[in-house]
Amino acid sequence: MTTTLKTNVGRTTGSPESRRLRGADHIPAVIYGAGMTPVSITVERRDLRIALSGPAGTNTILELVVDDKKFPAIVKDMQRDPVKRNVSHVDFMQIDLSKEIVMSVPIHLTGTAKAVVQEGGLVDPAVDRIEIRAAANNIPNEIVIDVTDMNMNTIIRMEDITLPAGVTAVSDPDLVVVTVLVTSTQVDKPVAVAGEAEAGEAPAAGAPAAGDKPAAS
């Protein structure tokens, strides 16, 4: 399913014009792809936010309306202002919905690892996204990982994850995806060595204190 996003064409390139557009809540952008000449466009900030607000987020398959043409596309790159953190420029890439593309997809942990909780551990995602390959119209919104059976010694690697049909991993099979952190440790009480007096125990009557020399006969 695609989400329609209207665009405006014919913008003047350059920093002053870009600043003026951003001030009017229009984001400078470009769309490019195989077989087409890159086109400079703008999108309204509110429209872009709404288009990417679904469960797929920035992986949403968009139908960009450019003049009288429509292009299936994805967000390839999104630049942000280093201070305000709002979007300052977007690169859209035209795609073929039937062909495979590589996307970075978020992971979502489900279930409760009771064995970990009982030992004072914490299930920790080592990464928050993994790279997968699939047809553009078959990109999952997220990769769900069940952690119910994890224990303190469990490590879930990329090769351990079951992916949806038609989806393959691009990441290294040995990539650590989920691990366990120890949040509390049990401190063992020191064990007194046989023959040594316990801390704070007075020496037996008649016995020399530590460091004293025996009396001369």
The half-sphere exposure of 180 on its side-chain side, counting CA atoms within 13 A, is 22
Task: Tell me the per-residue pLDDT of 82-125, one tens digit each, with 9 for 90 and over.
Answer: 888 889 899 999 999 889 999 999 999 999 999 999 999 999 99
Per-residue model confidence (pLDDT) at position 150: 96
Is residue 186's pLDDT more than 90?
Answer: no
Q: Could you give the percent of the chain with pLDDT greater than 70?
A: 82
Q: How many other C-beta atoms can be found within 10 angstroms of the C-beta atom of residue 121? A: 21
- The structural domains of the chain, with segments of one domain joined by +, span 3-95, 102-182
Give the chain's mean pLDDT.
Answer: 84
CATH architecture of the domain formed by 102-182: Beta Complex (2.170)
Q: Are 134 and 103 in contact (CB under 8 A)?
A: yes
Cα 142 to Cα 60, 109, 136, 203, 207: the distances in Å are: 12, 10, 14, 68, 74
The DSSP code for 184 is: -
Confidence of residue 189 (pLDDT cuts 50, 70, 90): very low
Task: Tell me the per-residue pLDDT of 32-69, one tens digit each, with 9 for 90 and over.
Answer: 997 889 999 999 999 999 999 988 888 899 999 998 89
- What element of type H or E holds 43? strand 36-44
Is residue 197's pLDDT more than 90?
Answer: no
Cα 108 to Cα 111, 116, 161, 185: the distances in Å are: 10, 18, 12, 28
CATH architecture of the domain formed by 3-95: Beta Barrel (2.40)
Distance between CA atoms of residues 192 and 199, nearest Å = 9
Task: Tell me the per-residue pLDDT of 127-147, one tens digit each, with 9 for 90 and over.
Answer: 999 999 999 888 999 999 999
Render 79-121 in DSSP notation, one character per residue: EE-TTT--EEEEEEEE--TTSEEEEEEEEEEES--HHHHHTTE
